[in-house]
């Protein structure tokens, strides 16, 4: 198996749309955690999202085309070392940021990754 066909986590799809945080596709490392988030979120609990596997090579291709992704901690732990080996210059993750106190749901900590080509 190629190192690029590693399962990073899951995305939630509704027909041709994927669940995003703003414009960033959400990738979560646990099906159970994702299903729980969907069920407890007033914006998604009544929709029929299907969880699909998010493979490293597909995510990397998306990032290289400019698509932003938002990873939970579990998915980012898998993604980070592979992304570094693939040449993405990412800062070390920090999932210890305190969420705003006015969030209506339990906070979902996500780390955004987007391609930022070096300028010369």
Q: What is the pLDDT of residues 56-87, one digit of tens each?
A: 999 999 999 989 999 999 999 999 999 999 98
SS3 label, residue 106: coil
Residue-level pLDDT at 97: 77
Measured between alpha carbons, how far is 104 from 50 in angstroms, rounded to an integer? 24
Q: How confident is the model at residue 7 (pLDDT cuts 50, 70, 90)?
A: very high
Q: How far apart, in Å, do the first and last CA atoms of the chain sit?
A: 37
Q: What is the pLDDT of residues 39-62, one digit of tens each?
A: 988 888 889 999 999 999 999 999
Helix and strand tally (H, E) in the chain? 3, 7
Rounded alpha-carbon distances, angstroms, from residue 32 to 39, 45, 95, 102: 11, 14, 20, 25
In the beta sheet, which residues pair with residue 4? none
More confident residue, 50 or 99: 50
């Amino acid at each position: 198996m190629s190192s690029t066909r590693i399962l990073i986590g899951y995305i939630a799809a509704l027909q041709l749309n994927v669940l995003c945080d703003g414009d960033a596709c959400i990738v979560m490392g646990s099906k159970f955690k994702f299903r729980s988030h969907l069920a407890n979120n007033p914006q998604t609990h009544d929709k029929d999202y299907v969880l699909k596997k998010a493979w490293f090579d597909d995510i990397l291709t998306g990032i290289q085309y400019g698509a932003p992704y938002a990873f939970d901690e579990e998915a980012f732990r898998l993604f980070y070392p592979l992304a570094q080996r693939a040449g993405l210059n990412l800062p070390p993750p920090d999932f210890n940021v305190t969420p705003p106190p006015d969030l209506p749901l339990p906070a979902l900590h996500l780390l955004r990754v987007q391609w930022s080509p070096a300028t010369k």
